[in-house]
Structure 1
Amino acid sequence: MNRYIGIDIHQDECHATVQDEDGNTVKQGYFQNSPSGFKRFFDGVEEAKTAIEAGDAWQPVYDWLDEKDFDVKLAHPNKTRIIAEVKIKTDCHDSEALADLVRADLIPEVYVPCEEKRELRKTVKQRGKLVMESNKYKNRIKAELRARGIDYEGRNLWTHSSKQWLKDLEVDAVDDFLEVLKTLNERILKLERGIKEIAGNMKKAQLLMTIPGVSYYTALTIIAEIATIERFPTSAHLCSYAGLVPSIKQSGSKEVHGPISGGRPLLRWILCQAVHNHVRNAPNSHIAKFYQRLKQKKPKKVAKIAAARKLTKVIFWMLKLEEEFHPEGYDPRTSR
């Protein structure tokens, strides 16, 4: 008989509901989020359609079920809840709702990249997290200096000579933060060496690095977040995925464009950083000129987002056509 499974996943344990084709619960319970836990719960269950809600701990059970030839889907958490509220009237647990949705073929799927791309995503995200932590400690050092009335205006605090100046102040908190910064920077440099090596051996990364202002880290982050360009039918789909498309509220014939929302935060951030660097490094490119023109009429932030959207469309066609960056612009397809 057909089986339909919904799995609610947490860091340490999962809750699953197994239903038959009529929606009757044939098995339900908790199990550890580990291979031994999966094996115990799914013993005797075969050829089931399974839904797992995307979150922080989905990978182990997804990979285990996929290896066992289950038809497993990763569900978009926000869209799943919306559909469940509309379609399912019973007050059921999350795993039961997922089982109901997979049985009704209403699961809003999330794209699952291959293992190689997942590892790449982990690497670039880890580098980003460490940089964020580094910035936190830099801000803490500045806060300590301000609290003590120590003037550092006009000084780059992160050069070798300035770090020595900070040590000579003999402020215990500053010394502690400097030690943490040293450790973080060592880990960041180690990750960057690996990222640089990967980018040097990847054709797509080399293509993106022909864009002025796009470093090996930026190129690899974009590739890791996109995973494969073939899954985007048009450049507009990629812009929406990146979260660079304004929200629209429509009432009758009136249409109001609001702020950008959704998308992948890391991809949006890296594309905005790329535009910032690009405008500075290539002021005569068609993207930089577009930004400068728009900045005369719109707020700087709006112009930056629009330029990032234009750059995203260019990146879409560069990867599709496997062509290097054209400073003068592409054919009309880039406006799609």
Structure 2
Amino acid sequence: MFLGIDVHKRYAQVAVMDEAGEIVEEVRVENANLDDLAQRYAGAEAAIEATSNYYHIHDTLSEHLDVTVASPGKLKLIANADTKTDRVDAKELARMVRLNSVPESYVPTDEIREARALVRGRQKLVQSRTEYANKIHGLLADQGLTRKVKPLSVEGREFLRELSLPAPWDELLASYLTMIETLTEEIDRLEAAIEDRAGSLPETQRLMTIPGVSYYSALMIYAELGDISRFDGDKAVVSYAGLNPVIRKSGDSRFEGGISKQGSGRLRWILVQCARTAVHTCDDEYLRRFYDRLAGRKSSNEAIVATARKLLVSIYHMLDRKEVYDPPGVSA
């Protein structure tokens, strides 16, 4: 039997197909009851889509089924279906797994999942804190206050606490400041956990030998890349990060445009940040020399993105060969 399982937040639509391609059962199951269904079809092959909540469901089903996780971006057949319903999606997944044509997605290990949870959790808290800082800037502008204040700094918050504003803006300001301070405490707590985790992993210890790569950036790179052996060379890992240039050909002409931005946005973002730090703060000779060559004929942003790509190639070889940062030995 072949199972196509279209997973939603609370339930899943399941289509069961036999070897002849006939649908033998269609059923809607609460996610909490998927274990019973998996036991009933123990040993069968199944496909689910890599949705936001697929980890737990994958692990539950894998106790009894041979589960393949499908990459959402590559499920063109389902995405372009004329009539898109849960039943159609489930049946198409069942058909794909029967034909062994599911575009497979990487399923991270528990260790990778835990690392992702930590760094992504911190990233969301930082984004929330920035939103409250922006709210404060907007509030001050509404009150005609143009002095530059940094709500994320201790000095900035002390200044804001002393401001005298009319109601209800005084209460709003106090509330926003409290949220920033609370979020800062939670970020600090997560950063301690991130430092402990990054310090305990050989992969992140190697990454931290790169100038400009900290505990947080090392753990994020490791978490977003996952198992380095799943990549077939440095070009594959560059493509996964969306840092590969878009090539256009017309006749005998060949044009190289911007980067594809088709891969992991988080990985691409942290690599660019690390490249900026390595070049402008840590003055890493290898990356700085590469950046300077490009900066003379490209914009600074283009040069930094290209430097981030160069850094990722080095990271790939470091992790693949289990080596520390040694530019002459890892350049490609």
Regarding TM over 0.5, the answer is: yes
Q: Does 1:109 align with 2:108?
A: no
Summarize deviations over 1:19-47 as a string: whole Å, max 9, x none.
Answer: 0011111111111112xx11343452121
Structure 2 match to 1:78: 73
* Structure-1 separation of matches of 2:181 and 2:95: 52
* Structure-2 separation of matches of 1:29 and 1:248: 46
Task: Give the alignment's TM-score, normalised by structure 2.
Answer: 0.92
Structure 1 unaligned spans of 5+: none
Structure 2 match to 1:277: 277
CA distance change for structure 1 residues 95 and 253 in 2, over 3 Å: closer, same or farther? Answer: farther
Give the residue type in structure 1 aligned to 2:211: P
CA distance change for structure 1 residues 306 and 169 in 2, over 3 Å: closer, same or farther? Answer: same
The answer on whether the counterparts of 1:84 and 1:97 sit within 8 Å (CA) in structure 2 is no
Superposition map of 1:141-290 within 5 A: 141-153=136-148, 155-170=149-164, 171-260=170-259, 261-290=261-290
Over the residues paired in the alignment, what is the CA RMSD in angstroms? Answer: 2.1
The answer on whether the counterparts of 2:78 and 2:89 sit within 8 Å (CA) in structure 1 is no
The answer on whether the counterparts of 2:136 and 2:151 sit within 8 Å (CA) in structure 1 is no
Structure 2 match to 1:30: 28
CA distance change for structure 1 residues 90 and 152 in 2, over 3 Å: closer, same or farther? Answer: closer
The answer on whether the counterparts of 1:199 and 1:206 sit within 8 Å (CA) in structure 2 is yes
Give the residue type in structure 2 aligned to 1:304: I
Give the residue type in structure 2 aligned to 1:159: S
Secondary structure of the 2:206 match is: helix
Give the residue type in structure 2 aligned to 1:21: E
Matched-pair identity in %: 35
Shift of 1:179: 0.9
Q: Does 1:46 align with 2:42?
A: yes
Summarize deviations over 1:148-176 as a string: whole Å, max 9, x none.
Answer: 121323x5443323211101114322211
Structure 1 match to 2:167: none
| Alignment partner of 2:14 out of 13, 16, 30 | 16
Deviation beyond 6 Å, 4+ runs, structure 1: 88-92
Shift of 1:107: 0.5
Structure 2 match to 1:320: 320
Shift of 1:275: 0.6
Structure 2 unaligned spans of 5+: 165-169
| Alignment partner of 1:94 out of 89, 92, 116 | 89
Task: Give the alignment's TM-score, normalised by structure 1.
Answer: 0.91
The answer on whether the counterparts of 2:35 and 2:60 sit within 8 Å (CA) in structure 1 is no
Between Structure 1 and Structure 2, how many residues are aligned? 325
Query: Which sits farther off after the overlay, 262-271 or 43-52?
Result: 43-52
CA distance change for structure 1 residues 90 and 162 in 2, over 3 Å: closer, same or farther? Answer: closer
The answer on whether the counterparts of 2:208 and 2:214 sit within 8 Å (CA) in structure 1 is yes
